[in-house]
Structure 1
Amino acid sequence: MPSQPTPPEHASAAPVRITPEPVALPEPWRSSALTVVVPTYDEAGNLPVLVAQLMALDLPRLRIVVVDDNSPDGTGEIADKLAVEHPGRLSVVHRTRKDGLGRAYVEGMTRALADGADHVVQMDADLSHPVGYVPQLLGTLHSTNAGVVIGSRYVPGGSLSAAWGLRRRLLSGWANTYVKTVLSIPVQDVTAGFKIWRASALEVLDLASIESTGYAFQVEMHYRAFRRGQKIMEIPIHFEDRLVGQSKLDGAVALEAALRPLRLRRAENARR
């Protein structure tokens, strides 16, 4: 795979967004049954851009499942219009309330597997995960026996948006260190939300029994994959900052993220 783009050493006041060039995949990799699951809540300004970028990739069997939590800004209605524009390639799951990132992902992944996806991508709707990395994630999965490939901010070559302040960088770094210490998991970006799964790996994880509702969902998925024998790989990505809308991270989500690793360790030890 080609090397990753490197952000400039000295960021300007208006940092340039890094857009990686998608790699060209050979057949049959290019024509894999791939579904991208995108949870949304108030992402009306970002979703059409993301869908256009995904549809432009040279992946003819790429499908999208949008899982909307009854967004008051009309994201669900926009998703329905996009489904009409892309018949057979985009479907929408409408949930009646905001019930957490984890529950949205479980519902979307379950739909993707039921519809015959061989591989499932997780990515945010806020354009923080550059779409150009999707073919590289798919190619890495095909060229290895990994159950999951993570787009990582914290392996060599990975980077964060210049718009991230020191406080946010320290918090993210501390969260990763804390989780890895508690769970003894060999993943550098254990809180990462951009990744691709084999369908068989998701089946081993038993999605229906996932308990985390917020961002701790990412940690629970990685930990289950590790404890249940799935090979985990990481490739470096550049993580962008959102330009439109507001972050969904709040106090309750942060508290769950802090407490969940201890509960996960107890639950997996009890399972042995």
Structure 2
Amino acid sequence: MTRSRPALERVCVCVPTYNEVGNVEMIVRRLRAAVPTADVLVLDDNSPDGTGEVADRLAADDPQVHVLHRAGKQGLGPAYLAGFRWARERGYDAVVEIDADGSHQPEQLPSLLAAAADADVVIGSRWVPGGSVHNWPAHRRALSVGANTYARFALGIPVRDATAGFRVYRLSALGEMDTDAVASQGYCFQVDLTLRALDRGLTVVEVPVAFVEREVGTSKMDDSIVREAAVRVGVWGVQRRSRQLRERLGRVGRSTGWHHLEEDL
């Protein structure tokens, strides 16, 4: 049975920032040009370089730009969760995740939104046919490919770019995913939400995108983010495989009459 999905009339693009003073105006202007009907929400974690002040100026000049100032640097996951709550409270139909540094190209967002007509979650994927990565050093490419291969096999999921941060979520889908229970901080936040969507039978599709390494500022990736992802994905994999094994044994038991064993004893 085909799931009915209403048109996405109100879209909120969430842009988390920390020390992105050289990028925030560029990304907001590109987003407004690429999808003029969408609103933009800058989620600034009290950037000491003045990113929040630049965002405030942009919001003062454009009623479709908004700023949510947060107390300090708390991680990517909490920033997006705050954005999701903000959008839900204001009746948006969908939210978009996008990096502030230009690595996710706003000009490709219309193709993700088009795919959301028949999906609950859309991932802008680097690692499906047609996807690509530009200007990345070999070690970053290897880390991303390795992390996604690890997630795919540890969790038994079909998604090829589970760590991707360029996404569209229907708010109705997020409502089914119990996002208030999400504790992931860094990039494994993306794996966490992917797994939650799949486990709830939601439709997740991947759209190929061209990822371009940032030209201004520095990456927020560090060893603690990698460690968090490795540990959490490993734990989720063990839990998921154990649950699947129990379910299979239960089905076998019901088909062979093992469920009467306790009564017989």
Fold shared by both chains (TM-score > 0.5):
yes
After TM superposition, the structure 1 = structure 2 runs for residues 48-87 of structure 1, keeping only pairs within 5 Å, are: 48-60=25-37, 62-87=38-63
Q: TM-score, normalised by structure 2?
A: 0.86
User: Cα 1:264–1:165, aligned 2, differ >3 Å: closer, same or farther?
Assistant: same
CA distance in structure 2 between the partners assigned to 1:261 and 1:203 by the alignment = 23
CA distance in structure 2 between the partners assigned to 1:127 and 1:197 by the alignment = 20
Q: Please name the residue that 1:8 is paired with.
A: none
Q: How many residues align?
A: 239
Q: Please name the residue that 2:252 is paired with.
A: none
**Structure with the greater alpha carbon radius of gyration:** 2
CA distance in structure 2 between the partners assigned to 1:33 and 1:266 by the alignment = 39
Q: Which runs of 5+ in 1 are unaligned?
A: 1-27
Structure 1 position 122 matched with structure 2 position 97: yes
Q: Please name the residue that 1:192 is paired with.
A: 164
Q: Please name the residue that 2:81 is paired with.
A: 106
CA distance in structure 2 between the partners assigned to 1:226 and 1:159 by the alignment = 24
Deviation, 1:264, is 2.9
Q: Please name the residue that 1:152 is paired with.
A: 125
Deviation, 1:33, is 0.5
CA distance in structure 2 between the partners assigned to 1:185 and 1:263 by the alignment = 15
Q: Please name the residue that 1:220 is paired with.
A: 192
Deviation, 1:266, is 5.5
1:5-35 superposed Cα distances (whole Å, 9 cap, x missing partner):
xxxxxxxxxxxxxxxxxxxxxxx96x72011
Q: Please name the residue that 2:231 is paired with.
A: 259
Identity among equivalent positions (%) equals 46
1:241-265 superposed Cα distances (whole Å, 9 cap, x missing partner):
0000000011111110111112334
Q: TM-score, normalised by structure 1?
A: 0.84
Kept in 2: contact 1:110–1:207 (CA 8 A):
no
The structure with the largest helix share of the pair is 2
Structure 1 position 241 matched with structure 2 position 216: no
Q: Which runs of 5+ in 2 are unaligned?
A: 1-5, 248-265
1:176-220 superposed Cα distances (whole Å, 9 cap, x missing partner):
111111111110111110010111111111221111011110110
